[in-house]
Amino acid sequence: MSYDDANSVIRREGFAGEAGGAATTEYTKFRSFQAAKLKKAHAVVTTAGTTTGHGLGVYHGTTSIGSITLGTAAAGSTAASATLDRALAAYDQVSVKTLADATGKAHVIFEYEVLPDAVKTT
């Protein structure tokens, strides 16, 4: 795909829901029907964590690919993972797991781009 192609300049996002409430639990599963590249995972704190260990681990299937540190940030605070650039096949699952804190919660948004070999619906 060339850089003047419309798909290379559009940032897509998928709101995956709220994560948190139980330590080390998987939350906010996301799938795309087409091949994609996961760029980053973003979080907006909805309930402040009570420990510096509050955060989210980012998973592609069962493989850890990144994390988001939230600590005791107040509701409304935002944070993001490092750039992930993870290729996803059609229907692959991406999710987050909470880290050490069982109190903190956050909304999770996955940022991705469509890959040029994506299947078109006819």
Strand partners, 108: 17, 43
Is 61 inside any structural domain?
A: yes
Q: Could you tell me if residue 28 is left (phi over 0), alpha (psi between -120 and 50 degrees) or otherwise beta?
A: left
Is 7 inside any structural domain?
A: no
Domain count, the chain: 1
Q: Tell me, what CATH number does 50's domain have? A: 2.60.120.260
Q: Which residue has the tokens 């991406």?
A: 94
Q: What are the pLDDT digits (tens) for 50-108? A: 999 999 999 999 999 999 999 999 999 999 999 999 999 989 999 999 998 889 999 99
Is 4 inside any structural domain?
A: no
Q: What are the pLDDT digits (tens) for 1-17? A: 555 556 555 677 788 88
Q: How large is the average pLDDT for residues 21-34?
A: 86
Is 39 inside any structural domain?
A: yes
Is 11 inside any structural domain?
A: no
- The boundaries of the domain holding residue 25 are 18-114
Q: Which two tokens stand for residue 73?
A: 């940030």
Dihedrals phi, psi of 61, to nearest 5 degrees: 65, -120
Is 13 inside any structural domain?
A: no
Q: What is the pLDDT of residue 114?
A: 84
